[in-house]
Structure 1
């Protein structure tokens, strides 16, 4: 392993909000809604999904019904990663990619396995990183998939380190201007940034009770849809793809609302999506070669 494989960490928690958010994640070390779903194949996700589910599983009874619901949710979450890998298609296996907010590693492992590239995950949750590093050893890819302790908006990497950067449902926890400026810094000219996110549709409303309830539940601050495009351009990254999958995001939450593991956030998600107050977007942008 080269000396730059493990850069020196920088301060992960820098202010009161990040302290509160960090504690929120550190407290979730035995969260069944994440851990039970990944037990079958060792892929643990911290994102949601798009597309329809098999409605027949709701006809099952008792424990069988719950087992089928969890299995279907996991299938949908795993297939969701194709939103990232599809937008990164064409990357060389020699490419180096950063995962901003890598969680327990589910997306990072699939990006590596499907595209062959090296992935560096940045995450300020220590128990997530410890969990993911153990998985990397078990999945025999610890020489290609790394998990660094640190803050994704203030990384230890040198300028122009990465061919691509992605975030999978993590930008609602960060300041977009700060983050996109950092991502542009570590991207090589012409490099691609891909984000999957849920955001407030400010063309429809300036305030949504349902969106506020999601913010409170996850200790996040859901950004306005217009802010994403504005801040990408400010950072010198030019959007080339904007895909709205709001309608496709609804079935996942309908299915989850039938699970014994539902947490109560299902209702505001469904309300916000159905009213078009919340949008589910995939955005790809390229760093300007003149930036």
Structure 2
């Protein structure tokens, strides 16, 4: 049986209440729900790498289906960024997915690593959705979802061997997030983050990044802020990769879908002019 923490309001301030309201309202979100229908892996992150350009040559009556299938393949593959960066993990390890959404990343990590994963999310219908998938798969004891705030996670100090955040830190205060993730990690534990962020060496807050913030009710951070926050929390980076160029094809393909939301051009503009970066950062708790 799935064990879920449901205590408190979880939204602690005006911004978090606005963000929670944004996600609470998105119960019929086709760009997420249609993509995961075949394999029960529902993602709230995007992807890097080239897409199969032959899907654009698919006959009109099957073209949209082919585009969505390819987008989903890319999103599934994106989780390999975390797996490859995290490195070897024993089956006895325990990990946390910070901002777990409908569970796609948590399920993939559990399947690939064979260890227990706890997801934390403050959107109740996301948690309930992920719990249903865990029960249907018979994974209740391996992947558990907790209704809570990932900045005040319902676990004691040093509970985890690793923590991951898959495109969720732009909804947080970065210093508070890194401090909390460091608290949750055992000494020597690892934290892996994928994120899009502002390249403040180019422009601290371009028009494209402002529009993305407005679209997602987020406040993405400057690239430099992440490294300041990691250092302040005793999280020492051991791998940093920038995939800005590789992040563009996903948005190019999504622009061909009938489910495009209008933010696609903003991501493409930001990546092309260099004001927006896509980063994967792995760090170790000292």
Structure-2-length-normalised TM-score: 0.98
Provide the secondary structure at the position in 2 that maps to 1:71. Answer: helix
- Cα RMSD of the aligned pairs, angstroms, is 1.3
> Conserved in 1, the CA contact under 8 Å of 2:10 and 2:122?
yes
Q: Determine whether 1:237 maps to 2:223.
A: no
Aligned to 2:244: 246
Q: Which of 52, 55, 67 is equivalent to 2:53?
A: 55
For 1:250 and 1:18, locate their aligned partners in 2 and report how far apart those are by CA, in whole Å: 29
Residue equivalent to 2:261: 263
The equivalent residue for 2:223 is: 225
SS at match of 2:189: strand
Which residue number in structure 2 is paired with residue 162 of structure 1?
Answer: 160
Contact 1:124–1:151 (CA under 8 A) maintained in structure 2:
yes
SS at match of 1:188: strand
Please list every run of 5 or more consecutive structure 2 residues that lacks an aligned counterpart in the other structure. none
Structure 2 matches for 1:1-291, cutoff 5 A? 9-288=7-286
Q: Distance in 2 between matches of 1:98 and 1:119?
A: 6
Shift of 1:6: 5.1
After TM superposition, give the deviation of residue 7 of structure 1 in Å.
5.4
How far residue 69 of structure 1 moved from its aligned partner, in angstroms, is 0.3
- Asked if the contact 1:6/1:148 (under 8 Å) is kept, the reply is yes
Contact 1:238 1:286 in 2 (8 A): yes
| Whole-angstrom distance in 1 between the partners of 2:126 and 2:8 | 17
Count of residue pairs brought into register by the alignment:
286
Alpha-carbon distance in structure 2 between the residues aligned to 1:247 and 1:12 = 36
Aligned to 1:57, the other structure's residue is in SS state helix
Contact 1:7 1:157 in 2 (8 A): no
TM-score, normalization: structure 1? 0.96
Q: Which runs of 4+ in 1 moved over 2 A?
A: 5-11
Within 2, Cα distance between the matches of 1:137 and 1:84? Answer: 25
State how far apart, in whole Å, the 2-side matches of 1:218 and 1:146 are.
26
Residues 10 and 151, structure 1, Cα contact 8 Å, conserved in 2 = no
Q: Deviations over 1:175-229 (max 9, x none)?
A: 0111111110110000000000000000111220000000000000010000111
- 1:56 CA displacement: 1.2
What runs of 5+ residues in structure 1 fail to find an aligned partner? none
